[in-house]
A and B are shown apart, each in its own frame.
Chain A
Amino acid sequence: MTLAAGLGLVVAPRLVRADEEDAKRERPQPGDLLVKIGGDPAPLAAKDVPQGGPQILAWPFDPAGKTVRDGSRLNKVLLLRLDPAGFDEATKARAVDGVVAYSAICPHAGCEVSRWLAPVQHLECPCHFSQYDPKAGGAVIGGPAPRPLPALPLKTVDGRLAVARPFTARAGFQQS
């Protein structure tokens, strides 16, 4: 017992740090809230996402461990608020008050999907011009992207946007 306690004392601080690193790198988990990247650290509500675009970027935030999951760029979440009347069924089921969430990382070559084409309501990657339809589950509209943008199903917790389920597909891209 003494030995085990002693070991625990020595090892515990390192383990905690490693756990925290892991938690920062871990993909969004159910119950995570969302905080704006480079903005107010308060978790976001639907009304904080501009109606009609453009998208804003957020990190998942684990409220239990108070951890912002900013340890991997593959955790970047793109939030967009549109009229849900135009959503397909799957997108409606994942949205909260017209807010949809997707991986911000293009599955082609890994650039950030940073452009919003307002007239056609498409998301566009600036690197190789892949376009996605956020109203149809992130479907590929054009360009070299091999698959849709992974979606992040949302729910509401105490009036805040929260993650309902993990990404619908692996976030990121195939390294050659």
Chain B
Amino acid sequence: MSRYASAAACLAGGLALMLSAAAAAQKALPPLPQPSGPAPVPAILQNYKPVTADELKKPGDGDWPMYRRTYDGWGYSPLAEITPANVGQLKMAWTLETGQVEGHEAPPIVVNGVMFVATPGNQVLAIDAKSGDLLWRYKRPIPEDMLLLHPTSRGVGVYGDKVYFAAADAVLVALDAKTGKEVWKTKVEDYTHGYYMTLSPLIADGKVMVGCSGGELGIRGFVAAFDAETGKPVWKTYTVPAPGEPGSDTWPKGDQWKTGGGSVWIMGNYDPATNLAYWGTGNGGPWMGDQRPGDNLFTASVLALDVATGAIKGYHQYHPNESWDWDEVSPPILVDYRHNGRVIHGLVDVARDGYLWELARVDGGKIAFVAGEPFVKQNVFTSLDPKTGRPHVDPARKPGTGKKADFCPSLWGGKDWPPVAYSPKTRLLYIPANDNLCGTSIGEKVSYSPGERFVGATTTLYIAPGADHIGELQAWNLDTGKKVWSHPFANSQLWGPVLATGGGLVFMGGTNDRYFRAFDAATGKVLWQFRTGSGVIGVPVAFAFDGKEYIAVQSGWGVDSARMQARLNLVRPYQFPDVPQGGSIWVFALE
């Protein structure tokens, strides 16, 4: 056959195939084979042991059952196989793509050898923690008309045979840990009115507790508790009081309280001895304090809530009449420390307002001020009241409606949402700080429209003249109140949650160079680093399986880390290049 003949035969054959395909398309296709039942449950899930209340109070050394592993918020694992001497040999054990973009901030939660990971896009993955096999995937569609300003999740909670997920569209979902199927779901609030959820649920006393984000969308913040077994509402405590409720005298007479903000972004910490949970609250809404004259309790505060009833038993407001967008996102950690020779039964918070706050837990849930000092460049507070800790604010540094002010730290604060870690071995507190960032803000009148932006401010960001770094991992000794070491990042902001381990290491990512690093917990020396595909802003964890220690973290740049990068790129063009998005889970171990 000539070349032409062969081509013609090919064409004819192709045509015949197409014709027969067309004829087949007109006939009914045979039915597809149907699975004969539900997918088989893998052995590791068949053997999944219900998580008990005692295990949440005192997790096994190899488990990481909640956001910070323990109720006190330390972010500390006692595992000690990986040490400064061998961490240089740390290798990737497995990795897995999440299929999502945006900020991957959640810790991999590990119990019974099963890892549960929440990602953006209302997704939860269950994975065999040792092998990296995907066991199930849960995905809940996000309504197309939802204004989701922070597309992220900070993790799931586990209790009994369920996995609890605070879905972005303000719905609390309980999943069957063995199958990933919904057991119950409860509407927490109305997303069309600006309520959304980013936090990991706090599970204690048979309840699942969550709060809502939306301080930029005219919400009224709250913490709400639901029965862990049934999902039925138990109590709901607003962070902004209604007229007549305690604290309402710190609000003006009008309707400002209805849209007063006080978001709850992060899971509270919990003291089982008193059944009190400590929650951080966001700024007031809209942003300018002169549109809501008064201290505006309980915005920019820590609240002590009775988990049985939701009653507010105590509070400390870090800065009254919030006007800088300094949400006090993270709750204080529960830790006892020395101060002037006394041992304080304490709370310590590293705040967005740029101060490290030492507080005390006193009888009945009250919170007392002990000390506060700046950990980054801060030019707004001229001093603190020595008794109450109330800051004296330089009026020139406070923005208002039609009044521009220039202040440090920037609206993202000295430390935003990424959690600190505390090691009881070194007695050091590890702070992922952003130093030398400042900005301006000017307010404007704004009218409320349900579910729309309700901010009323125009802001800028700049780097303080002469700054030699931005991001800075700091280690503070809580007993002396002194900074012991710091590791600066000259050309990157820092959005890295911190993990401390019993092996004498601190793990953290958070920089725009996409590295995940291990530091010597005692000295701050970088001992190991690994480059992932995107920036690492997930909460790192340590877990063990068959006696072997693993380190796990999500990579996936987005949300505020990316927004700050865009702003920095305006300040120093081309020095803060785009960081690619795309989420993945990384697990490391010694060979």
Which residue numbers of A lie inside 8 Å of B, CB to CB? 37-38, 72-74, 109-112, 114, 126-128, 144, 172, 175-176
Contact = CB atoms under 8 A, between A and B. Distances in A.
Given A72-B145, A127-B149, A128-B566, A175 B121 contact: yes
Contacts of A37: 449
Contacts of B100: 176
B144 interface: yes
A144 B149 CA distance: 14
B328 interface: no
Contacts of B308: none
A176 B100 CA distance: 7
Contacts of A144: 566
A111 B453 contact: yes
Sorted nearest first, the 7 A-B pairs with minimum C-beta distance are A176-B102, A175-B142, A72-B145, A176-B151, A74-B145, A176-B120, A110-B147
Contacts of A111: 147, 149, 453
Nearest to B123: A176
Contacts of A114: 453
B563 A109 contact: no
Contacts of A175: 121, 142-144, 146, 148, 151
A37 B451 CA distance: 14
A112 B145 contact: no
A73 B151 contact: no
Nearest to A25: B145
Nearest to A125: B453
Contacts of B148: 109-110, 175
Contacts of B347: none
B149 A73 contact: no
Interface residues of B, number: 24
B452 interface: yes
Main secondary structure of the interface of A (DSSP, over half): loop
A74 B101 CA distance: 23
Contacts of A109: 147-149
Given A38-B449, A128-B566, A176 B146 contact: no
Interface string B91-111: 000000000111000000000
A127 B452 contact: no
A176 B143 CA distance: 11
A92 to B, nearest CB: 30
B335 interface: no
B192 interface: yes
A144 B101 CA distance: 15
B348 interface: no
A38 B458 CA distance: 24
Counting chain B CB atoms within 10 Å of each CB, which of A109, A144, A172 scores highest?
A109
Contacts of A112: 452-453
Contacts of B458: 126
Nearest to B144: A172
A72 B452 CA distance: 12
A117 B566 CA distance: 21
B117 interface: no
A172 B145 CA distance: 7
A74 B144 contact: yes
13 contacts: A37-B449, A73-B145, A73-B192, A73-B451, A112-B452, A114-B453, A126-B453, A128-B563, A175-B121, A175-B144, A175-B146, A176-B151, A176-B558
B360 interface: no
Counting chain B CB atoms within 10 Å of each CB, which of A72, A112, A176 scores highest?
A176
Nearest to A129: B566
Nearest to A111: B453
Nearest to A144: B566
Interface string B29-66: 00000000000000000000000000000000000000
Contacts of B102: 176
B556 to A, nearest CB: 10
B310 to A, nearest CB: 32
Nearest to A37: B449
Given A74-B144, A175-B121, A126 B151 contact: no
B101 to A, nearest CB: 5
Interface in B437-458: 449, 451-453, 455, 458
A73 B147 CA distance: 9
Contacts of B143: 175
Contacts of B563: 128
Contacts of A176: 100-102, 120-121, 151, 558
A37 B101 CA distance: 34
A154 B243 CA distance: 47
B142 to A, nearest CB: 4
Counting chain B CB atoms within 10 Å of each CB, which of A73, A110, A175 scores highest?
A175
A106 to B, nearest CB: 10
A112 B102 CA distance: 20
